[in-house]
Structure 1
Amino acid sequence: MKSLINFIVTILTHLHVLTPLRTSKLKFLVKCHKWPNFKHPKDVNEKINWMKFYGDTSMWPIYADKYRVREFVKECGLGNTLIPLIGKWDSVDEIDWDALPNQFVMKCNNGSGDVVVCTDKSKLDIETTKKHFEKLLKKKLSVLSGELHYAKIKPCIIAEQMLDVSTQPCNSTSLIDYKVWVFDGKPLFTWCTWNRQQYHANVAVYDMDWNFHPEWSVWTSHYVMPKDRVPKPACFDKLMDAVSRLGRGIPVARIDMYVCGEKIYFGEITMTSQAGFMDFYTQEFLDKMGQLTVLPIDCEK
């Protein structure tokens, strides 16, 4: 039934029968199993959608652009946290594959989860990789999710230096993603993901005292209750200082960081986590984050 509703919503949206606002309300119903109130929001999903449609999103195309956001990070005095950039191209035809190092990470500046991790260039299928990015560059990300700021991002491809996975605790097969929830510059929760595969990831939510909160997550075949706990990073204070600076003045943002040894690296700023349809947290946690998200006007009455 959910797939059928999604299909119908997709068709109606492409036929311009539905506006982005109406599409988002239907998507919210399908994903979150309740009809939303975007004008008078309560939980964090509703408040993210309020910001999408009624808030000041003038900076969002920069925050969401994985290339342009690098300048913003530098302006915040955190240029030393940027992963070294190997190259930036507007089309696959511009890429000099011979000039690339043996290992790299390649992605679109406006993408989500469509990253190519090359650990050995001699084994990389370049033609398949080119087709992958050609398709991504044409993808319209804002149509079905109501994330209109993505339409203002000029798509490009970037390649960054690969970070050393062997430095990760928990014997993680992927970099541990420290997804920190920041409320007007105040970090309060960290959603860790590790051992990430295409259809599987270990996840855990920690508070600022690094207490594990399994009661705030919805455990599925994709997001799995971990046997191990992620240890508190030795550079925790430095990590929190960085996300605090990046999130200052923003009602709510998810700021993703990596840690290699005691060196922190910037990942991305996500203004619309799961487009504001997050179904991997419990309603209790969504309500809790909603209470902490103070919007610029009194829209909760």
Structure 2
Amino acid sequence: MALKDTIRPRLPGWADAIWQHWEQHGEFPNILRPKTFCDKVLHRILFERDERLIETTDKLRARAYVEKRLEAAVLPRLLHVTGDPATLPFDDLPPRFVVKPTHGSGWFEVVRDKTRLDRAALIATCRDWLARSYYGRHREWAYKNIVPRILVQELIDDGTGPLPLDYRVYTFGGKTTFIIVDKIENGVTCSRFFDLDWRRLDISNGLPEFSGDLPRPKHLAEMMRAAEILAEDTDFVRVDFFDTAAQLYFVEMTWTPNAGFRRFHPPVYERHFGDLWAKPGLAAVKSLHPVP
């Protein structure tokens, strides 16, 4: 076992978070006077204790938060909630669905054909999720106080691949600034940046860029309006959506993307987006330069 694996569990949360950032970026973060985007993410992890972060990070409570501000139709249909995976009502569920926990990120199982489902394996996976602490991974405070439960939701399919395109809307000062689209290509998560006029931006977050063109999403204007409604009175939050031919769907709100581990490139954008992260309503949206 590596020395860090012995020491890390004994560290207070703040020290572990700082250590992980030092390991990731190879330099000590500016904790008290953060300037870059990633340093501001870490600052939020260490110091911000707004109940709204818990409310909207919790996959179940976020639904009520969104429903109060947007119409309920923007939410994928909720099929079941339980604290005991053994009670999952498989016989009553539709042929396709998604299972995920309330207290994590990136944990989910997509069931595309219930008749071929290994129910015991899925129950075991759910029990494993419930026994794990997502807060323990990177010390993101919002995850610490979420009640672990299992959600079953309708499967959203936009026809583009094994998973729908994930539109990640970055808002600063309550205003939409740019959008990252994540797409699974050959089993790998790829991404591309767009400005508000759907022009490709020459910016990267360390993920490979997917191939081919990507048409403007049908509900782009609605997506940006919805993101700004949910981001009202915030300095920064990312709001994720799926978009199908029929309608727009809310996915999640993210206050500390990638726990501050994934920097923007070229490096100038780390400071650029850090500068935009200001008090609510005060962040002027600076121009981004699309790829010619």
With the length of structure 2 as denominator, give the TM-score of the two structures. Answer: 0.90
8 Å Cα contact 1:24/1:145 also seen in 2: yes
2:85 paired with 1:101: no
**Would you say 1:12 and 2:7 are equivalent positions?**
yes
User: Does 2:169 correspond to 1:185?
Assistant: no
The corresponding residue for 1:299 is: none
1:130 maps to what in 2?
A: 123
Asked whether the 8 Å contact 1:165–1:173 carries over to 2, the reply is no
Backbone CA RMSD of aligned residues: 1.9
Does the 8 Å contact 2:60/2:102 carry over to 1? yes
Identity of aligned residues (%): 23
Q: How does 1:209-248 map to 2 (within 5 A)?
A: 209-214=197-202, 216-219=203-206, 223-248=207-232
Residue 147 of structure 2 is aligned to residue 160 of structure 1: no
Asked if the contact 2:205–2:265 (Cα under 8 Å) also holds between the matched residues in 1, the reply is: yes
In the alignment, which of 189, 192, 217 is matched to residue 204 of structure 1?
Answer: 192
In 1, Cα distance between the equivalents of 2:13 and 2:266? 26
1:263 counterpart letter in structure 2: Q
User: Would you say how many aligned residue pairs link Structure 1 and Structure 2?
Assistant: 280
| 1:242-291 per-position Cα deviation (integer Å, ceiling 9, x unaligned) | 00001111211111101001511000001111112224654322221101
Pairs within 5 Å for 1:43-54: 43-54=36-47
Q: In the aligned structure 2, how far is the partner of 1:115 from the partner of 1:41?
A: 33
**Which of these residues, 58, 82, 89, is aligned with residue 51 of structure 2?**
58
**CA separation of 1:34 and 1:141: change in aligned 2, threshold 3 A:** same
Where does the alignment leave 5 or more consecutive residues of structure 2 unmatched?
Answer: 281-292
Label 1:31 to 1:51 Cα distance change in 2 as closer, same or farther (>3 A).
same
In structure 2, relative to structure 1, the CA distance for the partners of 1:34 and 1:229 (3 Å cut) is: farther
**Unaligned runs of at least 5 residues, structure 1:** 297-301
SS at 2:80 equivalent: strand
2:270 aligned residue: 286
Residue 158 of structure 1, CA deviation: 0.4
Whole-Å separation in 1 of the counterparts to 2:115 and 2:74: 29
1:254 matched to 2:238? The reply is: yes
Contact persistence 1:235–1:262 (CA under 8 A): no
The whole-number CA distance in structure 2 between the counterparts of 1:212 and 1:45 is: 23
The residue aligned with 1:112 is 105
The normalised TM-score by structure 1 is 0.87
* Ranges of 4+ aligned residues in structure 1 off by more than 6 Å: none
- Residue in 2 that maps onto 1:21: 14
SS of 1:88 mapped into structure 2: strand
Q: Partners in 1 of 2:152 and 2:264 — Cα distance?
A: 30
- Provide the C-alpha distance between the structure 2 equivalents of 1:262 and 1:184, rounded to a whole number of angstroms: 30
